[in-house]
Amino acid sequence: MKNVAILGATGSVGAGTLEVIRRHPSRFRAAVLTANRRWEALDALALDLDPDLVVLGTPPPAGFAPQWAGEWRFGADALADAAGSPGSDIVLNAIVGFAGLDATLAALAAGKRLALANKESLVAGGDLVMRALRGGGGELLPVDSEHSAVHQCLAGRPVSEVARVTLTASGGPFREWPARRLATVTPADALRHPTWSMGAKITIDSATLANKALEVIEAHTLFDLPYERIEVVVHPTSIVHSLVEFRDGSSLAQLGRPSMEIPILWALGYPDRLDDARRETGFDPVRDGPLEFEPVREEDFPLFGAGVAAGKAGGEFPVAFNAANEVAVERFLSGDVGFRELAEVVLRTLERFSSRAIESVEDARRVDTRARAIARDPHGEPKSGDAE
């Protein structure tokens, strides 16, 4: 029996994780549940699952009166402490955004198995995360479906045998929209993902293709793969989750209908393949074919190229890209900027940063905070190189 801490339990990946855990009561138990603000939803989960601890990332709000009578803790530090505490064997980090970095580092420093959905941790904290993994002696299993596919196809083979990895992208809701129509995109349009049902932030990232740039950086960091060996192809039905081509010319792919429960189960149960096959998620060649692929429309979705370039340039750039993108998404969802301006917000922010190395989590936090300030208001911030 493994005790699992589910960080971001009230979200989309959190819900998928709880489904998987409910189907395997003799193997996994929800020991810790966390959310940010939605305490009523967290309270309902706690009543159902009776964990050892629940944590809210914010202070108790006015009117806080939970029905579950167990231990509640509050604040970002309590969240990171819960990730590193001995009460769990596996930490599944499904927090959204840079806010997940501290928990990622705490879980790895404590030598846990970290099942990581929070890709922003790897983008903003790449070297720090891999250092914590080596130092803590734990394990890092990807939950992102593309990276889970790569992990499954690699099956322990060394990266030196890999010729290239091809990450698939659905292309998002605007894959077929002509460029001029993109100016008219509303948040409601962008929140309508064709193949995946996900939280708002990653759904917008999928519409702009920023998500695929984050995933290229994630693959580079996770698998220690040079950027030249990572490619992206659009695959509208999201059946092939990614491909690995080996140096002998063989390509392996992992397939399945879009469901996060497959990569979640893999990350929780690895190296075992647990008995969980459900007809609706299995691949059926007749029903699910033909499998079509097309190139990414890089000129119409500039956040993809900008993000990959930020990853390649390294240092402050990926941290700033991630932070500016988070702010741009918030601004788009609140109606403050249009769909096309999302990229402008990010590109203008990146101009103020450099590839100076990120040595510590404090460094990463400083760049993140500064990039957010610039992305919110480019005029209210000192130029690059000025004192912060």
Interface residues with ligand NDP (CB under 6 A) are 8-14, 35-38, 57, 79, 94-96, 99, 117-120, 144, 196, 198-199, 201-202, 260
Return the number of the residue (38 or 348) whose C-beta is nearest ligand NDP. Answer: 38
Return the number of the residue (166 or 206) whose C-beta is nearest ligand NDP. Answer: 206
Return the number of the residue (57 or 138) whose C-beta is nearest ligand NDP. Answer: 57
Return the number of the residue (85 or 118) whose C-beta is nearest ligand NDP. Answer: 118
Return the number of the residue (342 or 352) whose C-beta is nearest ligand NDP. Answer: 342
165 bridge partner residues: 230, 244
Q: Least distance to ligand NDP from the beta carbon of 318, Å?
A: 15
The C-alpha atoms of residue 200 and residue 365 are separated, in whole angstroms, by: 23
Q: Least distance to ligand NDP from the beta carbon of 240, Å?
A: 16
Q: Least distance to ligand NDP from the beta carbon of 88, Å?
A: 16
Return the number of the residue (209 or 352) whose C-beta is nearest ligand NDP. Answer: 209
For residues 54 and 77, the answer to whether their CB atoms sit within 8 Å is no
Return the number of the residue (79 or 245) whose C-beta is nearest ligand NDP. Answer: 79
For residues 175 and 208, the answer to whether their CB atoms sit within 8 Å is no
For residues 189 and 333, the answer to whether their CB atoms sit within 8 Å is no
Give backbone dihedrals phi and psi of 300, rounded to 5 degrees, phi first: -90, -15
Q: Least distance to ligand NDP from the beta carbon of 4, Å?
A: 15
At residue 277, what is the residue type? A
The C-alpha atoms of residue 182 and residue 231 are separated, in whole angstroms, by: 25
Give the strand pairing for 28-35 and 113-116.
unpaired
Residue in the structure block whose two tokens are 């698939």? 168
For residues 360 and 161, the answer to whether their CB atoms sit within 8 Å is no
Q: Least distance to ligand NDP from the beta carbon of 117, Å?
A: 3
Please, where are the H alpha helices in the chain? 12-23, 39-49, 76-84, 101-109, 119-136, 145-154, 187-190, 200-208, 210-223, 261-269, 285-288, 302-313, 316-333, 341-350, 361-376
Q: Least distance to ligand NDP from the beta carbon of 193, Å?
A: 9
Q: Least distance to ligand NDP from the beta carbon of 249, Å?
A: 30
Residue nearest to ligand NDP (CB): 11
30 bridge partner residues: 4
Tell whether the torsion through CA atoms of 355, 137, 225 and 152 is positive or negative: negative
Q: Least distance to ligand NDP from the beta carbon of 8, Å?
A: 3
Return the number of the residue (15 or 358) whose C-beta is nearest ligand NDP. Answer: 15
Q: In a 3-state reduction of DSSP, which class is residue 61?
A: coil
